[in-house]
Structure 1
Amino acid sequence: MPRFSIILSAFLLLLSSGCATLGNRMATTLTNAILNNNDLEMVEVGAPAYLLLIDGLTQQAPKNANLAFTSAQLYSAYGTAFSSTPERHRILADKAYAFAKTGICLKINTLCSVQKMPFKEFEAQINQTKLNQTHEIYILGQAWVNWIQAHSDDWNAIAEIAKVRIIMEQVVRLNETHDSGGAHLYLGGLATLLPPSLGGQPELGRQHFEKAIQLSEGKNLLIKVTYAEQYARLMFDRTLHDKLLNEVISQPAIAPQLTLINTFAKKRAKKLLASADEYF
C-alpha cells in the first residue's frame, strides 16, 4: 500500500473512533503548512494529496463545522493560486463553496439554504448574526465570491453578488479588522467588477482597497494586485497601476498565513506589469 494510503487510513481510523479534534488539528496544520509555503511549484504538485486527506477527514466527521470551514479555505486558496483552466477552477470552487455551506448550516442553522433564500429574508438573517459568528459568515462569503468568479459566464451566478456584498458589509460592521481587513478587499473587488456605466462603483472600491491595505499593514500583497488590476486598469490610471505592482514586487512574500498568496501575488504583479504597455 502506498505510504499516503497508510497515513490516510490511520487518521480515518482515529476519527472513526471519535477523535474529531484530531481531524480539526490535522486540517489546520495542513492548511497552515500550505498557506505558509513560498514554493508555488511544490505546493501545486503536493497539495492535491492533502486535499484528498481533507476529503477523507470530512467524510468521517460530516457534522464537524470547523473541519468543513477549514476545507473550504484550503480548496479556495488552492483553486485561486493553481487553477489552470476554467473547468478546473469551477471544480475546486464548487468544492470550497459546498464545504462552506455545510459549515454555515451546522453553525447557524437559519442560514442552511443561503442560495435559495429570498433576498430580503437572507439580508435579515445575515444582519442578525453576532460578533462571535464573524468568522463563519466571512468564510461563506469568501467561498461564495470564488464560486461566482468560477461561474462568471452564468448570469444566475452573477446575480448572487448582492448576497455576498451583504455578507461582507456585515463582517465590516461586526469587526472590520477580521482577517486583517479581508472583507474590505472583497467589497473593493465587488465594487470594481463593472465600469460606472454598467453599475460599477470604482471610487467606493478604491476606498475599500485603501482600507484593506491599512488594516493588513500592507502585508497582504494580493490587495495591491487586485487594486491595480480591477481599479487602476478600470480607470486607466497607469501611474497608480505601476506604483502598486512595483511595491508588491519589492516587498517580501513571507508573512504568517499569507506566504503562498503573496508569492502568487508577486508572480501576478510581474505579469500585469509586463502587459501594461499593451493595455494602456
Structure 2
Amino acid sequence: MRGLKPRIPEPFREILSLIKGGIFYMRQNLLRTHIFALLLLPILLGGCSLTKLTVGRTVIVYSQAGAALQREADLTLIEASVRGNLKTFEGMLEIVPENPTLLIMTSRAFSSYAGFVEDKMEDAEIAGDTDTAADLRARAIDYYGRSRRYALKVLSQSNKTFSEAPTVGSVVFEGALRRLKKPQVEPLFWAAYAWARGISLQKDNPMQVIDLPRVEAMMRRVIELDETFYYGGAHLFFTVYYGDRAASIGGNPEKAMEHIKHVDRINQDRFLLSKFYLARYYAYPQQNAALYKEALQAVLDAPMDVYPGHEAATAIAKSRAKRWLAQADTLFDTATE
C-alpha cells in the first residue's frame, strides 16, 4: 500500500476543492449532497483504510483553513460557515470516530454555533418573544452539550477518568486534571467552556450548577498550562465567575477586574470582547453606568482591523456591544448616574 495514491471520487473531490479554495459557505441542499457523498466513501473508494486515509487528510485541510474564518468580518457568513461544518464534521466522525483533531474541531464548531444561537436568544428576550427565546435556549444547551462530549472524548483517550467527568469523585477528577500536559489544553478548554456555558443557561437548575466547581478546576488548570490559549479565554471565564455573582456566593468584582487585565495583557489590548466583558460582567453588576457605556462605545468606535487576523472576534464584540448599549437605559437607574 506504500506510495499508493487513491483515486478520489468526483463527489468527494468537489468537497476537497471547496475546502482548499477557502470557501466555507454552502447552500443547504449542496451541503446535504456533500455529506451524503462523504458517507458513501467506503463504497466509492472500495476500502475502509483508503476511506480513513482520505478523511484524515481532509481533517488536516479543514484544520489549516480555519484561519480564513478568523479573518472574516461578516457575521452572517461566519454563522453559515460554522453551521455548515457541524454535520460535515459529524459525518467524518462516523468514519474516524477517534481522530483527536476532528473531535476538537467538532467541539469548537458546536460551541461557536451555540454562541450565535445565544445571541438570537437574547434578541428574542429583548423583543419579549418568550417562546422563541425558550426554544433557542434549549438548542444552545444541546449544542454546548455536544461540544462538551466531543472534547471530553479527546481527554478520555489519555485518561479514562474524563469519560466519567460529571460523575467521578472530585479527588479522582482533580488528580486527572493534574496529570494533563500543555498539548491537552485545547480539548480541556473547550470541554470546560462548553460545560460552563451550558450551566450558565440553566442557572435555575441545581443539578447543573452543582458541576460548577469542576469547571472552575478545569479552567484553573488551563491557566496553569497555558493562560494565553484562545485569547486568554480561561481568564474571561473567571471574569464571569467572579463578576456575575453576588458576594454571598463567591462574587468578587476585584478578581473579575484582575482577569480582564490579564486578557488585555495577553492580547495587547486589542481583543475587544475584553471590553464587552468589562461592561457586562463588571460595570453592570456594579451599576456603574458611565463605565458600562464608555467600554461598549469603545468597542463600537474601534476599527475593524484593530486586531489583524482576528476580525471575526472583533465583529462578534461589536455586535454584542451594540445590543447591550441599546439596553443601557433599562439596565440602570438614570436618576443615580
Q: TM-score, normalised by structure 2?
A: 0.75
Q: Which of 45-54 and 199-208 deviates more?
A: 45-54
Once the two structures are TM-superposed, the CA of residue 160 in structure 1 deviates from its matched residue by 1.3
Distance 1:168 1:185 in 2: 10
Distance 2:173 2:303 in 1: 40
1:91 aligns with 2:142: yes
Once the two structures are TM-superposed, the CA of residue 11 in structure 1 deviates from its matched residue by 4.2
Compared with structure 1, are the counterparts of its residues 167 and 17 closer, same or farther at alpha carbon in structure 2 (3 Å cutoff)? closer
Partner of 2:263: 212
1:19 is paired with a residue of what secondary structure? Answer: helix
Partner of 2:34: 7
Once the two structures are TM-superposed, the CA of residue 153 in structure 1 deviates from its matched residue by 3.0
Instruction: Please show how residues 230-245 of structure 1 align to structure 2 within 5 Å.
Output: 230-245=281-296
Q: Is the 8 A contact 1:137 1:167 kept in 2?
A: yes
Q: Is the 8 A contact 1:105 1:111 kept in 2?
A: yes
Letter in 2 for 1:80: G
Q: Deviations over 1:70-101 (max 9, x none)?
A: 11111111111234321221122122112112
Any unmatched runs of 5+ in structure 2? 1-10, 12-28, 121-135, 333-337
Once the two structures are TM-superposed, the CA of residue 33 in structure 1 deviates from its matched residue by 4.2
Partner of 1:268: 320
1:75 aligns with 2:141: no
Distance 1:250 1:54 in 2: 37
Partner of 2:73: 38
Distance 1:245 1:176 in 2: 25
1:62 aligns with 2:125: no
Partner of 1:278: 330
Letter in 1 for 2:137: P
Q: Deviations over 1:107-128 (max 9, x none)?
A: 4434221111122221222122
Distance 1:148 1:266 in 2: 25
How many residue pairs match? The answer is 280
Q: Deviations over 1:126-177 (max 9, x none)?
A: 1222233222322221222222223333221112111111111112122222
Once the two structures are TM-superposed, the CA of residue 233 in structure 1 deviates from its matched residue by 0.6
Relative contact order (alpha carbons < 8 A, sep ≥ 6): 1 or 2 greater? 1
2:164 is paired with a residue of what secondary structure? Answer: coil
Once the two structures are TM-superposed, the CA of residue 220 in structure 1 deviates from its matched residue by 2.3
Compared with structure 1, are the counterparts of its residues 259 and 107 closer, same or farther at alpha carbon in structure 2 (3 Å cutoff)? farther
Letter in 2 for 1:276: A
Compared with structure 1, are the counterparts of its residues 269 and 236 closer, same or farther at alpha carbon in structure 2 (3 Å cutoff)? same
Distance 1:258 1:148 in 2: 28
Compared with structure 1, are the counterparts of its residues 143 and 20 closer, same or farther at alpha carbon in structure 2 (3 Å cutoff)? same
Distance 1:144 1:129 in 2: 18
Distance 2:207 2:168 in 1: 14
Q: Is the 8 A contact 2:52 2:95 kept in 1?
A: no
Distance 1:152 1:262 in 2: 28
Letter in 1 for 2:109: L
Percent of aligned pairs sharing the same letter = 23
Alignment RMSD: 2.4
Letter in 1 for 2:192: G
Letter in 2 for 1:250: D
Whose radius of gyration is greater, 1 or 2?
2
1:114 aligns with 2:165: yes
Q: Is the 8 A contact 1:69 1:103 kept in 2?
A: yes
Any unmatched runs of 5+ in structure 1? none
Q: TM-score, normalised by structure 1?
A: 0.89
Partner of 2:311: 259
Q: Deviations over 1:175-234 (max 9, x none)?
A: 222223221111111112212133212211111111112112223222221221011111
Q: Deviations over 1:32-72 (max 9, x none)?
A: 44443221223334542221211111221111111111111
Partner of 1:180: 231
